[in-house]
Chain A
């Protein structure tokens, strides 16, 4: 019987297989950041262990880093101590680190792909649930806890139970104005936050094949929000073109050998998935969340649902609690929801294509009075590219704040946070209670919807903008 993409990559990494035991998997790339690594390094130190494969390990600073005044000492002493701990650990153990201020610094899931380290058919782990992002290249990539970080540092392997496989086939073509973010939010709403639990998802079908690498990363990134540790997309010419000539991509004969291998990484025609889901791309429209988990989403044209309409008692209770927390009432049209903050950035939507699409909407327009808009590039490289294209000027001319790279308001570990009761339209990945700041309320949206919302001050898509943008050049 044929094998799925996930099974092929899995099988190629089995170091040891024994009856009654989890498989021992080899890890090709281990990404580190400051939040989930300190206790792992401590564990190594206590046991007198070293990092087994420094040449497969790389660290960056992202969660705590400020997006303003990065040349000054970090104001929060606890954040500063955590970053200093990473620097000390990397120096002591010999791990390559891109700290704040370095040209390769940025959100770990933006940095790996842009360096060309994330490659098809590799296993990628990080102490971060959004490691699923790297599956866009046909890598088997998943988030791990700190105990596993220590395990990978010490052994370059992980004992793992073989996951089940799920195919999500997206037929047809995404309509104009509908993005990868809308698609993944619609998928999560359909299968639920636990729908992918125990599975590796493979996204496939004509609508997926047409997507750019940036869009594929947005999709795979939020697999975890559907409960799946990993999401994958089979590598193709789009993938190879993205990787060619990147700093760590193979060269010469190695490139040819790699591409020959990468071409084998497709699910066989006779392979069988444990579960299959079908989505018709043509039926989709801009999608936003109204609640406090990423599965609580609806088309922008819909209204806030009535909790009484849920048959399942636990879903009904969850909806009631969500409306209470979000300060919304049943029946309220989503387009009438006012926001005071707009955040464009994160490992979900902080890449160059995301900034371009937000800027295209903002070009010649202004952010509405009373709305604060933060644009936080996913990495220093993304920021430099945006500046080269003049996108920073589009944002600042519109009245948005152009910031330095990092995780920023996605989770508010740095000073970029919502105040209690504030409401955001955010291109990030989680709308949990308090995620962007204590008492803050989050609506997850695409970069286009974020930009249009910034202009109107209410949840909106670019199609809702009836004004004529000013044609001033930048």
Chain B
């Protein structure tokens, strides 16, 4: 996983709530068997509208998505995270994320930042009025900064440490292989097995 420390970039204000993962990346894109090449599928249906915010010339190259509440609801597809990253987004800001999407994002180094809705509103107003306005997402200090906005955000220390160092979860877990083996040795005999009967 790519490490995340601090990122500064222009924003895409997305004034929508309940942006589900079917909107982020429609199901027909899920037939691909790679982790890349999803950028053209990002918000595919909405991008058919030339006025959709992502299509606006002043939003090209923006790297911070500022979205409404309940972002990433629905399907567990990690492809939604890959699509946002393939397109160039480094961070997503919302007042509430769906659990599975949030977990997926943090495992891939896409920083999902939870801020109060009034701070999200302030970021929308700022970046709509001035598309060149930049937002800094600082994981080191757990703070979002933009003109007129300074807001601390929470992220548990363990997730922060993994992100700051770009650590691979599997190798961390395998350091505890002895614990796993010990647990396996004491599992009851009645637990199910998929071995053919």
Q: Which residues of A contact B (CB under 8 A)?
A: 15-16, 20-22, 24, 26, 28-29, 35-36, 38-39, 42, 47, 49, 52-58, 63-64, 76, 78-79, 81-82, 85, 96, 116-119, 122, 127-129, 131, 142-148, 150-151, 154-157, 159, 161, 193-194, 197-198, 224-225, 227-229, 247-250, 254-255, 257-258, 261, 292-293, 295, 314-315, 317-318, 321, 411-413, 430, 432-435, 438
Contacts and interface: CB of A to CB of B under 8 A. Distances in A.
B164 interface: no
A85 B193 CA distance: 24
A364 to B, nearest CB: 37
Nearest to B157: A20
A227 B20 contact: no
A146 B80 CA distance: 11
Given A20-B158, A314-B68, A155 B180 contact: yes
Interface string B179-197: 1100110011111111111
A434 B75 CA distance: 14
B189 A29 contact: no
Nearest to B71: A194
B138 interface: no
Q: Which interface residue of B18, B117, B188 has the most chain A CB atoms within 10 A?
A: B18
A15 B187 CA distance: 11
A156 B96 contact: no
A28 B98 contact: no
A157 B78 contact: no
B18 A318 contact: yes
A228 to B, nearest CB: 8
A81 B35 contact: no
B192 A248 contact: yes
B41 to A, nearest CB: 12
14 contacts: A15-B183, A21-B158, A39-B33, A42-B34, A63-B27, A117-B194, A129-B74, A142-B100, A148-B103, A155-B180, A159-B169, A197-B98, A314-B68, A413-B28
B170 interface: yes
Given A147-B104, A193-B73, A413 B191 contact: no
Interface string B17-29: 1101011001110
Nearest to B120: A314
A470 to B, nearest CB: 39
Contacts of A56: 192-194
B93 to A, nearest CB: 15
A85 B33 contact: yes
Given A26-B183, A131-B76, A151-B170, 8 more contacts: A145-B76, A154-B174, A157-B173, A159-B173, A258-B190, A318-B18, A413-B30, A435-B22
B145 interface: no
Given A151-B170, A432-B23, A194 B16 contact: no
Given A39-B33, A194-B73, A155 B174 contact: yes
Interface string B152-182: 0000111000000000011011101001100
Q: Which interface residue of A20, A155, A156, A198 has the most chain B CB atoms within 10 A?
A: A155
B83 to A, nearest CB: 13
Given A55-B195, A430-B74, A321 B104 contact: no
Interface string B102-133: 01100110000000010000000000000000
Contacts of B144: none
Contacts of A148: 103-104, 107
A156 B185 CA distance: 13
Contacts of A81: 31, 33
A207 to B, nearest CB: 27
B2 interface: no
Q: Which interface residue of B33, B100, B103, B172 has the most chain A CB atoms within 10 A?
A: B33
B103 A151 contact: no
A96 B194 CA distance: 8
Contact of B170 (A142, A154, A435): A154
Interface in B32-79: 32-35, 45, 68-70, 73-79
Contacts of A96: 194-196
A413 B29 CA distance: 9
Contacts of B30: 35-36, 63, 413
Given A20-B158, A35-B30, A293-B18, A314 B69 contact: yes
B194 A39 contact: no
Contacts of B84: none
B180 A411 contact: no
B192 A155 contact: no
B156 A26 contact: no
A56 B70 CA distance: 33
A434 B190 contact: no
B81 to A, nearest CB: 7
A258 B190 CA distance: 6
Nearest to A143: B76
A413 B75 CA distance: 13
A412 B27 contact: yes
A147 B193 contact: no
